[in-house]
Structures are given as C-alpha cells and as structure tokens.
Amino acid sequence: MNSKNWILLKELVKTDFKLRYQGSMMGHLWSILKPLMLFSVMYVVFIQFLGFGRDMPHFAVALLLGMVIWNFFAETTSMGLTSIVGRGDLLRKLSFPKEIIVLSVAVSAFINFLINLLVVLFFCILNHVEVSKYAVIAPLYIIPLFAFSLGIAFILATMFVYFRDIAPVWEVVMQAGMYATPIIYSLSMINNQTVKAIMMLNPLATIIQDLRHLLIYSGNQTVGDFINTKWIIAIPYVLPFVVLFVGYIIFKKHADRFAEII
C-alpha cells in the first residue's frame, strides 16, 4: 500500500470515528457506555435471574469479555456489509484500491474494541482476577479475530452490492450466531461432548474461550478439552486466515464493477 492509500485509509478511519456518535450529548463515551449497558442487562437476566455461570469464578467479567469480542465482530461485519454501497460517491470520483473502504471499517471497529478492552481490564482489577502468566500471548489471539472479521466483511460487502436483501438475512444470522457461541453461558452447562466440540470449531468460540482461559480463569474450557485430533484442533485457528484469503479474492474479483453497479 503506497503513501496515498495510507493517507486515504487514515482519513476514512478518522471520518468514521468522528461521525460515529456525532450530534449525541455523550459523544464517544458511548463507545464505553453502550457495551456496559448491554452487559448490565445480560448480567441481571442471565446471571442474577437465570443463574448462568455460577459454577465459574469471575463469570461476570468473562461475560463482558465475550461480549466485547462479539461486538467487534458484529460491528466489523455489519458496517463492512454496507461500506462499499455507502461510499458509492467516493468510488465514482476517485481511483484507489476498493479494499481500503472495508479495511477502514475494520480498523475503526478495532479502535473501539481496544477501548472496550480497557474496560474489561478495569473490571479484572476490580474483581481481583488472577491473570495467568501465559496472558502475555493473549494479543496473538487478536490477529485471527481481526482476520476472520475482515474476511467476512469482504464477502458481505461484495454480496450487498448485488443483493441488498443480504442485510436482514445477516441480522438473523448474527442473532443465531450469538446464542450458538458461549458468550452468555459457560460451556460447562452443555453435557454433550460432541455438541461442545462442534461449537468450538467456530473461531469466535475458540478465541473467546482461549482468552477467558488466559485472562480470567484457567478452568475455562478450550477446544483441546473436547477434541484430541491435532488437525481438527487446528481448524478454528486456521479458518480465520482461509476466510480472509477467500473473502479478499472474491472482493478483488468484483471490485472493478462496484462503481458502475452502485
């Protein structure tokens, strides 16, 4: 990427971040308040009323961490879906690599994600969470998370140019995906080992559980607890990069036609 494209990426990220909560009284504080408000609702309903996660130490913090990770994925993919169509005027005026638009959405969501991680860190300290010595490798899990989210965003952005109905379909998929991912409940609540193994092939589930294991409580189960075959264990770690590669190829194949279709 040359210097002009870097400047364009930087300006798109800045513009997106400025417009995110433009006109609201709280401004960018909503980047912190929004997940906290959602967490509060989840905490009251699923932990206090339904008793989810009572067998797991610091499950409230684990819930918050899972929600922050899921929200990054949701924000990147949902905003990525409409990013190309939303920048149609820019596509018609300038000649530049179209993937910069989708990448800018992912980077903007990632900045928001880092801010929310600071909130998680604050609650870890507040709850006297004993962080594992292996927590230093936790940032490595952010790489497949970013790759998976960006890859899906590339695919959705391409599909939305041709099929606008993909937006409501993706909303339903996200709702189903959230409940199929161990965010609001612990894996210990599921007795069927086969179901657990299938769930953990989802890269998001693996990333969430691995980070909970490293940062919050070492008793949080990971994919290696249900699957003994090494090549199967590797699937949720390799899949994000396969999705990114395939998503980028699909996007590049259609990118030249975006301006005339929009």
CA distance 58 to 130: 10
Q: What is the pTM of this model?
A: 0.89
Nearest to 187 by CA among 38, 65, 62: 62
Interval 139-158 mean pLDDT: 96
Which pLDDT score is estimated for 249?
97
Q: What is the largest CA-CA distance in the chain?
A: 57
Torsion of CA 235, 239, 142, 103, to 10 degrees: 180
Interval 183-209 mean pLDDT: 87
Burial (CB < 10 A; 0-12, 13-18, 19+), residue 162, is: exposed
**How far from the centroid of its chain's Cα atoms is residue 171's Cα?**
14
* Cβ–Cβ under 8 Å, residues 80 and 106: yes
For 8, the token pair is: 């364009």
Express each pLDDT in 12-29 by its tens digit. 888 877 776 665 555 566
* Cβ–Cβ under 8 Å, residues 55 and 68: no
Interval 107-122 mean pLDDT: 89
Q: What is the DSSP string of 153-217?
A: HHHHHHHHHH-TTHHHHHHHHHHHHHHTSTTSS-GGG---HHHHHHHTTSHHHHHHHHHHHHHT-
* Average pLDDT along the chain: 85
Which pLDDT score is estimated for 147?
97
Provide CB contacts within 8 A for 186, sequence distance 6+. Answer: 52, 53, 55, 56, 59, 62, 220
Interval 184-193 mean pLDDT: 80
Tell me the residue length of the chain.
262
For 176, the token pair is: 């189903």
Q: What is the DSSP string of 68-112?
A: HHHHHHHHHHHHHHHHHHHTHHHHHH--S-THHHHHHHHHHHHHH
* Cβ–Cβ under 8 Å, residues 112 and 75: yes
Q: Quickly tell me which residue has 């709702």 as its tokens.
A: 175
* Cβ–Cβ under 8 Å, residues 210 and 119: no
Express each pLDDT in 116-134 by its tens digit. 898 888 888 887 887 777 7
CA distance 60 to 47: 8
Which pLDDT score is estimated for 251?
96
Which pLDDT score is estimated for 23?
57
Looking at per-residue pLDDT, the higher value among 67 and 31 belongs to: 67
Which pLDDT score is estimated for 262?
74
